[in-house]
Structure 1
Amino acid sequence: MSSVGFPMRRTALSALVSCALLQVPAVALAADAAFAACLAGLRAEAVEKGVAVATFDAHTAGLVPDIEVVGFLDAQPEFVTPIWDYMAGLVDAERIADGRALLSQWAPVLARVEAEYAVDAATVVAVWGVESNYGRNFGERPLLGSLSTLSCFGRRQAFFRGEFFTALKILEEGHVAPERLAGSWAGAFGHTQFMPSTFMRLAVDFDGDGRRDLIDSVPDALASTAHFLARAGWRSGQPWGFEVRLPRGLDTAGSGRRNKRPMAEWRARGLTRSDGSALPAGDLAAGLLLPAGREGPAFLVTRNFDALYSYNAAESYALAIAHLSDRLRGGAAFAAPWPTDDPGLSRAERRELQLLLIARGHDIGAADGMIGARTREALRRVQAELGLSVDGRAGQRVLNVLRAAAAR
């Protein structure tokens, strides 16, 4: 962590943040004061990193801390959501249908992208679908507010300072209008949600307008995504992997995407494709991925899966993109069920669940398919009323009980 002009120790700032989250006015004011002092220190560091003083001053004037983002650091859905819930919401009938329509709509651009970067259209569109629901959900938090807050409070401050300074450079170079630079709480933005540093390294101007614009240019976004995957090691013509069937008694110790072995070795150990057919011949290296243990779907994954993983460093995330890309090509759902007696809900089913909650008098806002705090609280109340396990989770069991109750 840099000490340039930084007036308080990180522990003191973290204490202020924790109190601010309790919404105590006096402490919130103290957090504001600490934030202002932190920004003053960041000004000199930003200039050292190549940001013009005028740029820093213009874009930080009036910034206030967005303390809520600090709480999201340890609550990313890829790591806290059951895999069957995560996959059910990301790879559903709506996203598949929308993706196939966009494959057709953007076919000429995608053909040029594939020719340039050797990444197939279905994979690029699958990233688009998972990252922003094909441009429908960019995120609404002003990037400078989020990144400046994370530069001053919480853990990983050094990382977020780098992203903050790079976001200022993006504005300085004129790639994105200031009022358009909004995105996720962590600073990702655009159709395929690049972090600012990733943008600077890998974003491309594919529509030829002189700007690299991932927000208002679909061609730029699709090409930049393919460029990212190509640089991450994507190999054209190689599958990301596929679902497999495990033989009885297989020792799965040491499984994982990193522990790759030749396909011939997996064949010798008795693995087959999920339909029972033989694994492909050759020495293609693959690791055995068991995202829900050996009782759930099993996969052999290649280095192309690792390229997808590098986009967001979560195996559930990479699997969602991989599976969505297969479905966009006409592939089937996984053959093996998830090891749960209460599967997850598609977005259409989540909206239905919310409508049923609203009909019972619960004020949860719009039925948008997003399971937020108010929906979870309403679910806990309903689960208690109906004699179900009280966990606030939106699954098939509570949906079916609510359907039956509404039909009576």
Structure 2
Amino acid sequence: MKTYWQVAARNVWRQKRRSILNIIAISVNIFAIVAYTSFYRGWIVNSFQNITDYQTGHVQIHANGFLKEERRAPLDINIEKSLDLKEKIKKLPKVTAVARRIEFAGSVSNMMDTINVMGVAIEPEDEAKIFVRKDAIIEGSYLKANDEGILIGDKLAKNLNVGVGDYLNLYSQTKFNTHNLVEVEIKGIFSYGFDYMDKNFVFIPLKLADQFLDMGGDVNEMVISAGSHHKTIAAFEEINTALSPETLKKIEVSPWTAFAQGVMEDIESDSISMVILFGILVAMAIFGIINTMSMNVMERSREIGTLRAIGITRKGISRIFLYEAIITGIIAILIGWFFGSLLSAYLTFHGLPMPAEFFENVNVPVDKVMYGVPGITEYIGTGILGLVAALIGGYFPARKAAKMKVVDALNKI
């Protein structure tokens, strides 16, 4: 057994050109898979983090029936005794923050142009514990509870040709379906780098919205933070366990994933596409190895005949070629890991700046620089794939070599 490995190792070194071709065929694929998987994992982590930081929080509560009518942002389907419910949930160990909100449909006007918007009334201090509203402010300041002001996105500000300190008229229907408007000062302008929010969302204090929308203290949404999206399920289950059956009959408790179905479907679709692409790359590597090793068998016919003549069995010949493939595969794996790790490390520490055009086509908030998130799974996976590719690629040529008749092999030039 040891002799076979030694012969195989010597042959790999001797057949430098073909060995290098086989090593390149496998290592390039391993390099690509390791680096891309790190980048793709970073994309997913960033998407999840930003969705929960900018839009959904980790858990949301609505009155029964609200989500079915969510598109119209109803003001008449509200959470009963929302303050009491908020205080109870705040005390739960796995909950880090709770904020009440009112979502409403409206429009803003600068007296010349009117643009439809989605309004969100917030408790500024509690909201800041869940969402990164303050960090997104690029001009002006964040809201205070008693402000008669508004936060708007930079794209909306550009479309209306307004800035901090200017006034807008905010229009909407009240809880009782009567039209109302309020004049609000632009306190701050935010930019999430996410056109959907930067063009369409405005934020006002809950106290102002309560009067403006005639809500009488009601809210239609409650957002909860679990500290991290990884802890969502634990907080979700704790809330459902802590609340009485009577309360749960009147509300719907939902994890953030319920509000990001499109994103989850996109990620699933992208994952399938990635697996198919990697499968094609591995198949190409396998066929490349089969081709080069088959040619190697033909070129080494006399050597194979000599080995058979001195007593090496067919099984022994087959082993030598398989061991050559394994050695080639191991070298390729190590090289692929090395260069894949270098690129993965660069993506992890320096990131990859995304072009401006990229943000026009995404439906989730993402950072302007994408960072990789390395993991052990891509190394285990590529290690297995590399060995499998080498074994499959070497199997058929090994069989071919083993089946050669001694006389025929010795007579070949």
TM-score (norm 2): 0.22
TM-score (norm 1): 0.23
Which structure exhibits the higher relative contact order, with contacts defined as CA atoms closer than 8 Å and separated by 6 or more residues? 2
Larger radius of gyration: 2
Structure with the higher helix share, 1 or 2: 2
Structure with the higher strand share, 1 or 2: 2
